[in-house]
Amino acid sequence: MATDCQHLRDAAPDHTAVTPDGCEECLKSGEHWVELRLCLTCGHVGCCDSSPGTHATKHFESTGHPVMRSYRARSGDWRWCYLDNLMSGTAHAAAPPQ
Ligand SMILES: [Zn+2]
Ligand SMILES: [Zn+2]
Ligand SMILES: [Zn+2]
């Protein structure tokens, strides 16, 4: 079973966050988020799909940046490829990426 893909291999292990305080769009609109994801292509911080804004997924849909990682997440330290729906790293079993 594949646990890796070219995008995950090519992506940086980390990236400086553009908005270290939280989800870029939520900070602007005053929304609240559940957990954060960090785009490893450009450093965009977006909220996960458990959040009302789902801005990390919207960021992928609008930019095509395929790989993001957990950012200050309680669910573990992992990276996720949107194109292949693949995760690498260690997520706590109870909280898969959404
Ligand atoms: Zn991939
Ligand atoms: Zn958001
Ligand atoms: Zn990006």
Specify if 63 maps to a domain: yes
Three-state secondary structure call for residue 29: helix
Q: Which residues pair with 71 in a beta bridge?
A: 36
More confident: 96 or 15: 15
Specify if 5 maps to a domain: no
Tokens of 68: 């993001």
Ligand number, closest to the Cα atom of 39: 3
Q: Give the pTM.
A: 0.87
Domain range for residue 53?
Answer: 11-89
pLDDT of 76 reads: 80
Give, as residue ranges, everything with CB less than 5 Å from ion ligand 3: 39, 41-42, 44, 63, 65
Specify if 94 maps to a domain: no
Ligand number, closest to the Cα atom of 60: 3
Give the count of domains, the chain.
1
d(C-alpha 57, C-alpha 74), whole Å:
19
For 52-71, what is each residue's pLDDT tens digit? 999 999 999 999 999 999 99
d(C-alpha 50, C-alpha 24), whole Å:
16
For 31-56, what is each residue's pLDDT tens digit? 999 999 999 999 999 999 999 999 99
Q: Which residues pair with 89 in a beta bridge?
A: 78
Ligand 3 mean position to 59 CA, how many Å? 6
Ligand 1 mean position to 23 CA, how many Å? 23
Ligand number, closest to the Cα atom of 40: 3
pLDDT of 16 reads: 97
Q: How confident is the model at residue 92 (pLDDT cuts 50, 70, 90)?
A: low
Ligand 3 mean position to 2 CA, how many Å? 24
Specify if 98 maps to a domain: no
Q: CATH number, domain at 19?
A: 3.30.40.10
